[in-house]
Chains A and B, each alone.
Chain A
Amino acid sequence: GQQVMQIPQYQHVQEGEDFTTYCNSSTTLSNIQWYKQRPGGHPVFLIQLVKSGEVKKQKRLTFQFGEAKKNSSLHITATQTTDVGTYFCARDSGYALNFGKGTSLLVTP
């Protein structure tokens, strides 16, 4: 399946700093999903975005879907050590989720 591209691959921040990961597609997306995987854990569903220009918030996390539905972003305000993990975006291709390779976030206290 066609993948989505995520940048950056890694991000190391000090606790309290903000963090953003970007997800890009060469084709229009019907929807985009975001997952978090803690070290040694399994992916956990965070949210799904469907509408063009959609913005959703979950506490310190803000998710956006681009106007053209070809890109998405996840922004974390004032990171905490509990935010450590890998964040994946995934496109719904109909019968599968095709995952980006993820952005690994390391937060130093």
Chain B
Amino acid sequence: EAQVTQNPRYLITVTGKKLTVTCSQNMNHEYMSWYRQDPGLGLRQIYYSMNVEVTDKGDVPEGYKVSRKEKRNFPLILESPSPNQTSLYFCASSPAVQGVGYGYTFGSGTRLTVV
């Protein structure tokens, strides 16, 4: 089944403790992206990647890192999480850089709470 898999689904952590949210897709998509979703603010892009070793900042990259060493994986790293990073996170992928003709496939989400 074609899908984007995120782990974990739920995570509660403490301020300052480094964490990684994994994202993997099995569709050989070139483009991958991370979004966070917050009430009243909607979906905002954190980082994106056009292909292996090519990443760039989205609208809200502060406090996050990403890497794209393999085509299928795009982990999101929080080096020193803070409470304002409490959010619902989605990974998404698409077969084309500009998405023309293609929608994004989203993972099931990771609900992160930083206390």
A4 to chain B minimum Cβ distance, whole angstroms, is: 10
Beyond A95-B50, A95-B56, A99-B42, whether A42 also contacts B109 by CB under 8 A is yes
Query: A69–B30 Cα gap in the complex (Å)?
Result: 28
Give the A interface residue count (CB, 8 A): 26
Does A101 lie at the interface of the complex (its beta carbon under 8 Å from any beta carbon of B)?
yes
The proximity string for B residues 95-112 relative to A, scoring 1 for CB distances below 8 Å and 0 otherwise, is 001111111111111000
The answer on a CB contact under 8 Å between A100 and B42 is: yes
Task: Select which of A44, A48, A50 is within 8 A of B106 by beta carbon.
Answer: A44
Does B14 lie at the interface of the complex (its beta carbon under 8 Å from any beta carbon of A)?
no
The answer on a CB contact under 8 Å between B43 and A99 is: yes
B103 to chain A minimum Cβ distance, whole angstroms, is: 3
Q: Which residue of A lies closest to B4 (CB)?
A: A42
A105 to chain B minimum Cβ distance, whole angstroms, is: 16
Beyond A1-B45, A31-B100, A102-B42, whether A96 also contacts B106 by CB under 8 A is no
Contact residue range for chain B?
20 to 34
Task: Select which of A41, A48, A99 is within 8 A of B103 by beta carbon.
Answer: A48
Q: Which residue of A lies closest to B97 (CB)?
A: A95
Does B74 lie at the interface of the complex (its beta carbon under 8 Å from any beta carbon of A)?
no
Does A43 lie at the interface of the complex (its beta carbon under 8 Å from any beta carbon of B)?
yes
Task: Select which of A30, A47, A50, A97 is within 8 A of B104 by beta carbon.
Answer: A97
Query: A91–B64 Cα gap in the complex (Å)?
Result: 24
A52 to chain B minimum Cβ distance, whole angstroms, is: 16
List of B residues within 8 angstroms of A94 by Cβ: 98
List of B residues within 8 angstroms of A99 by Cβ: 42-43
Does A33 lie at the interface of the complex (its beta carbon under 8 Å from any beta carbon of B)?
yes
Query: A33–B45 Cα gap in the complex (Å)?
Result: 16
Beyond A96-B48, A96-B58, whether A45 also contacts B98 by CB under 8 A is no
- Other A-B pairs, 13, CB within 8 Å; known A41-B108, A96-B58: A33-B99, A35-B103, A42-B90, A43-B92, A44-B106, A47-B103, A48-B99, A50-B100, A88-B42, A95-B48, A95-B50, A96-B33, A101-B42
- Chain B residues engaging chain A, CB cutoff 8 angstroms: 33, 40-43, 45, 48, 50, 56, 58-59, 90, 92, 97-109
